[in-house]
Amino acid sequence: MLQAAQASIAVGSQVWVEDPDEAWIDGEVIKVNGDTVTVKCSNDKTVTAKSANVHAKDPEEAPCGVDDMTKLAYLHEPGVLKNLKSRYDMNEIYTYTGNILIAVNPFRRLPHLYDTQMMQQYKGAGFGELSPHPFAVADVAYRLMLNEGISQSILVSGESGAGKTESTKMIMRYLAYMGGKAASEGRTVEKQVLQSNPVLEAFGNAKTVRNNNSSRFGKFVEIQFDQRGRISGAAVRTYLLERSRVCQISDPERNYHCFYMLCAAPPEERERYKLGDPRTFHYLNQSNCIKLEGLDESKEYLETRKAMDIIGISSEEQEAIFRVVAAILHLGNVEFAEGDDADSSKPKDEKSLFHLRTAAELFMCDENALKDSLCQRIIVTRDENIVKTLDPEAAKGSRDALAKTVYSRLFDWLVNKINNSIGQDPDSKCLIGVLDIYGFESFKTNSFEQFCINLTNEKLQQHFNQANFNLYFCFLQHVFKMEQEEYTKEEINWSYIEFIDNQDVLDLIEKKPGGIISLLDEACMLPRSTHETFAQKLYQTFKNNKRFTKPKLSRSDFTICHYAGDVTYQTELFLDKNKDYVVAEHQALLSASKCAFVSGLFPLLSEDSSKSSKFSSIGSRFKQQLQSLLETLSATEPHYIRCVKPNNLLKPAIFENQNVLQQLRCGGVMEAIRISCAGYPTRRTFYEFIDRFGILAPDVLSGSSDEISAVRRLLEKVDLQGYQIGKTKVFLRAGQMAELDARRNEVLGRSASLIQRKVRSFLAQKSFIALRRSALQIQTVCRGELARRVYHNLRREAASLKIQTLYRMYTARKAYNELSASAVTIQSGLRGMCARKELHFRRQTRAAIVIQSRCRQFLARLNYSRTKKAAITTQCAWRGKVARKELRKLKMAARETGALQAAKNKLEKQVEELTWRLQLEKRMRADLEEAKSQENAKLQAALQEVQQQYKETKDMLVQEREAAKKAADIAPVIKEVPVIDTELMNKLRDENDKLKTLVSSLEQKIDDTEKKYQETSKISEERLKQAMDAETKIVDLNMAMLRLQEKISTMESEEKVQRQALLSTPVKSMSEHLSIPIAPKNLENGYHEVEEHKEPQSAPPAIKEYGNGDPKLRKSGVDRQLENVDALIDCVGKNLGYCAGKPVAAFTIYKCLLHWKSFEAEKTSVFDRLIQLIGSAIENEDDNDNLAYWLSNTSSLLFLLQRSLKAAGAPGSLSRKKPPQPTSLFGRMAQGLRSASFANMHVEATDVVRQVEAKYPALLFKQQLTAYVEKIYGIVRDNIKKELSSLISLCIQAPRTMKASMLRVSGRLSGQSQSQSNHWQKIIESLDKLLRILQDNHVPPVLAQKIFTQIFSYVNVQLFNSLLLRRECCSFSNGEYVKAGLAELELWCAKATTEYAASSWDELKHIRQAVGFLVIFQKFRISYDEIVNDLCPILSVQQLYRICTQYWDDKYNTQSVSSDVLSNMRVLMTEDSNSAESSSFLLDDNSSIPFSVDDITNSMQEKDFSDLKPAEELLENPAFQFLQD
């Protein structure tokens, strides 16, 4: 193997060499000298190293790494380290090693990786099918437990700060998601399990040097499941809480979180516990670190209280818990000074006494007893009890011992309370355990806690060797087991591999007698022992042990050589921390506490048990707990998660190679690599092997059609030894892959030289041809230039002759034009002067005439105005006299309006008489058919008489008004007499002046008269309006009469039984017109039962007698209505088909409900019957044809109801009781007669939809029908989604393509291609089938559009999410395959037309742009702006980054985008990392209802139902004859 590795290293090879700073660094071999090679590293350094210390580098490794490190071509330390770093740089923090998950802590929140949508993606997915994730490990464990009935365990390991706690939380969240109950009330088991985490973290986690939230205890959570896979119980086991942290912390660490939370509690609680700034408490101020950046202690306190509520801790218990926590803080502030006696102590000052008093109050114990328990010890002898005082140092130790004991008991109580609250299922047969325990620790100062932690790892390592299990190295056995299973599966010869045994380290620590723990227990039992004597005992006992050494510069430290490295321990506190006993005084003090909670933490022990108790130590108890844990884990199937901390700065985007490599070594990953390398570490499928190394022997492959024989002949051709060929893979020894790569590089080098030679020949020939073409071109240009010069000279000569000719012609023409212009100018000047003289003379003459005419006009106008003024004055005086006379006449006319009132009263009396007479006439016609015609004639005559009287009255009124108007307009005609006498005119002017005063007074009186006239006119108009109301009543009476005539004619054509059943109809109509209140009693099955009512005293006896008729007639009507409803339900329950493209059943139901007036009923059961019919008809949710039929019917019926129903009192509701107001009296009468005769006939004959005032049952039926439309729509949509789900998962699988030139298996490849295309063809067939069903059932196109839009959106989401979650799908060939399938979908959309497909094609925009990006060549030349703005504008940065990093070209071996583009994306992602929404890269499937009732209404028209015929089966029933109208 070493020789093969050395043979593969040649000049120009890419290799890895060791580097003191970077651990491993890549470079190129520039010189080989025997077993020494010289490498030029990528950092421009030149390094010389041994061949054995150099590892080959894969030149074709993916820049983004691989998600499973077993796929690496070279499985060695630098390869593993490089792969983890590459993935970490791309925020890919999870990587598989077989079925082991390696998690690198990102030190920042990535919420999009852990949301519910991500859990849904991993639910049921095969392991390795999606990207590495803790959800995948948890899902595998859950599926194995459910299918095989075997308990599982998930072991989360890693050093402090590696993210073990967070990984454990994610696993428990996923198990709660899978095993939680869908509908439960109160506190469920899964909620309590999840909420136990924040409680235990608050009391068991603290900040350390390496981690801000380090678990200072081990935790094993057992989640129990029932047979259905639901969580039925749980239990939490804890191990080795670090008690010493309560009293002693080092800088910059912190104490447990609960102390700081309580100090940040609300003010009232802090005041209750007498707390303040954490810096004032001794147990907290030993470190300068008080606050954690980004952590809100007050918020965490409230969250912890909320979690306590969920897991079942009552408010009283919570108060007691935090009272104990506060008491511990106060206890730490009690300081001691020397007492009055020797070797005695007492509280130092008043401050200490205050804290002592406060601690006693919080513990609810006696203050003096507490002080005595801290400062004294009672030694019990046979004869008496001896009180021994303690010095201040011993009292301080007693105080700290009490604080540690109380806190330890409190933590144990919390764990027991959580277990009791959650409850365990005794009937559970299976469980999943999640282990979160401390990793291997080696600090600057290592005490007893680190000793126990490292013992845990050594013990588990030893368990791995003996029982095939380990926490950190347990997965090594699992790796080996997988190796052996794969070798057996592939029929490969193998032999077992030896493992490193660490039994000697375990013997050193825990052997009885003589182990370190035994010696420590012995030292603890001796009263005079100190840590120095204990250290000396260790030195003497283990001086010859190779695993134990003594540091040179220390007298009490010792070093143990662990499997993960040497650790030096300081023994100063070993004895104190190992003692596990409670001081009797402390036990007695707190047992007597008045607080039941505190006394419960320290139950009283019986005398016998206290006397018989033996010495107990922490180390011994921890060994027992560890043994119990190993026994539990041995009974489960293990799964592993190895957490890695990338740097010690606890900051993101920093990857320290040395640190990570040390963790990989300590965590066993390198040991797993050693195991793999001992066997066949490199394995490739036949296709991958031939694709990579087929160029080594192309002649071998040309005539072969079998992959196995082709691979065997290829390996024989290259003379490779030690390999093995399995059923599906080639297994190579370590170094053989490098050897094959070296030979491949040689072949590629020779091929490159040949290509270069051919290219250089081609370039030289091309250069010669270009040179010769250039020479010919130069010659051609020179000859052309000479010819152009000769031609230019000839043109110059011809141009000069032409210029001379034109110049002479121009000179002659210019002289002639100047002479002609001078003559014309002289002539025009003379003629103008003569014309101006003539014009001046004419203007003077015209001005004189105008002056004369204006003077004569002024004189005439002055004379006329004076005459006119005198005449007007005279006329005004006369008209005033006439106006006073007219005023007197108007007053007389106003007194005569009483006559009009009398006429109105007489008319009203006649109307009432006529009304009662009409009622009696109608009743007589119903009883006596022989007298119908005569009575009708009488009514007609009476009506005409009333009309004539009214007309005459109106004419009289009009005549009176006209006469009054004429009288007002008549005025005496004053003839103008020519004035001859001037003196008379003067007298008239004087009299006119005198009359002006009289005219003004008359005008005032006239204004007053006009006001009185207007008031009188208003009174007349009001009376006229009352007359018009009487007119309206007459019109209503005429309408009622005509409706009665229609109904009477219908009654004549029916049989005698039908006539009796319909007798109630005219009575109801008469009662409506007579305003008799009839209250509906019960309305059932579409039948209206009328309650008996009291008739008014003025009603005729005939009407009263009819109202008290036989109730049997009404009862028979109810039974007949019930039969009609049953007939309707039986008929529409069948498939009635369609007429004119509309469902017959929906139209039939609507016509029946409209005729029965069910919409206007206050109570009816017909709607319930219809809803039950629809519900029973769609019980079979798999029959899309039946569902489409009912979707068409329900949507059409919903359209009719939407257009027809109006809520009572709505502004759009129609009222047929009041016809529209006509403009005049005769217009109203004519309109009333016409509307009464034809209104009902027109509505029933031509209108398909009639608006009615709907009552509550009808409106409720409409809402229920809307819900059923949405339900049927959702069922049809979900059915097609289920059908397409499996096909889509097959379509996204990366198609396996092979080069036809290799194996000549074109037949098989074509069959495989045909199989792949069949998946898309099946999707097209499913869509075609659904489209035919929707078209055959005439489903409204708007619903079909929404269905296909959501289906295409679902296809987009599934394809796109699978592309992001599966790296093998982000390949060039898969992009071509999916693009071809999308082209078929585009053709289908065009075939389906926009009427049904609408914008479905646009829903595939994400997958279209992603696939379009995959099949682009030369991606490394594309800039970030081009990608975002041109190629993929709809994709987010997170989505683009994931596609770019996962892309691999399996066809042309092209590169992805450049590193600059990836850097830009990474910067933008970092800026948006705090937003969960922006960090998410997966799409959500929209399952909402994307339409409303208005959408359905707007897509149909009433005229579509005009030619629709009802069900023929009902037309044969006489009770449904109304459907034929």
Residue positions forming the annotated binding site: 158-165
Question: What value, to the nearest 5°, has the Cα angle with vertex 76 and ends 71 and 78?
Answer: 105
Q: Burial level of 537, CB count in 10 A (0-12/13-18/19+)?
A: middle
What is the torsional sign of CA 1066, 1069, 1073, 1075? positive
Euclidean distance between CA atoms 1415 and 1443, whole angstroms: 12
Q: Count of residues for the chain?
A: 1525
> Which single residue is written with the structure tokens 């489903």?
1339
Residue 76: name the closest of 126, 1, 153 by CA: 1
Expressed in percent and rounded to 5, the helix, strand and coil fractions of the chain are 65, 10, 25
What is the torsional sign of CA 1334, 1339, 1341, 1344? negative
Do residues 214 and 257 lie in contact, with contact meaning Cβ atoms separated by under 8 Å?
Answer: no
Euclidean distance between CA atoms 538 and 554, whole angstroms: 13
Instruction: Mark residue 364 as left, alpha or beta (left: phi above 0; alpha: psi -120 to 50; beta: remaining).
Output: left
Do residues 1125 and 1086 lie in contact, with contact meaning Cβ atoms separated by under 8 Å?
Answer: yes
3-class state of residue 509 by DSSP: helix
Euclidean distance between CA atoms 1175 and 1413, whole angstroms: 48
Torsion angle in degrees (nearest 10) through CA of 1241, 1243, 1248, 1251: -150
Which secondary-structure segment (H or E) carries 777? helix 736-895
Do residues 685 and 728 lie in contact, with contact meaning Cβ atoms separated by under 8 Å?
Answer: yes
> Which single residue is written with the structure tokens 């045909």?
1314
Q: Burial level of 440, CB count in 10 A (0-12/13-18/19+)?
A: buried
Do residues 154 and 169 lie in contact, with contact meaning Cβ atoms separated by under 8 Å?
Answer: no
Is the previous residue joined to 132 through a cis bond, with omega within 30 degrees of 0?
A: no
Instruction: Mark residue 17 as left, alpha or beta (left: phi above 0; alpha: psi -120 to 50; beta: remaining).
Output: beta
CB atoms within 10 A of CB 68: 16
152-157/100-104 β-pairing: unpaired
Euclidean distance between CA atoms 1343 and 446, whole angstroms: 72
Two structure tokens written together for 104: 């690198």
The CA-atom distances, in angstroms, between 82 and each of 76, 664, 1194 are 10, 13, 63
The phi, psi pair for 1214, rounded to 5°, reads -100, 145
Two structure tokens written together for 1000: 């003004």
The phi, psi pair for 561, rounded to 5°, reads -90, 95
Do residues 619 and 579 lie in contact, with contact meaning Cβ atoms separated by under 8 Å?
Answer: no
The amino acid at residue 4 is A
Do residues 512 and 674 lie in contact, with contact meaning Cβ atoms separated by under 8 Å?
Answer: no
DSSP secondary structure, 47-72, as one string:
EEEEGGG-EE--TT--TT--SBGGG-
Euclidean distance between CA atoms 1074 and 1071, whole angstroms: 5
- Cite the DSSP H helix spans in 1054-1063: 1056-1061
Q: Which residues are annotated as a binding site for ATP?
A: 158-165
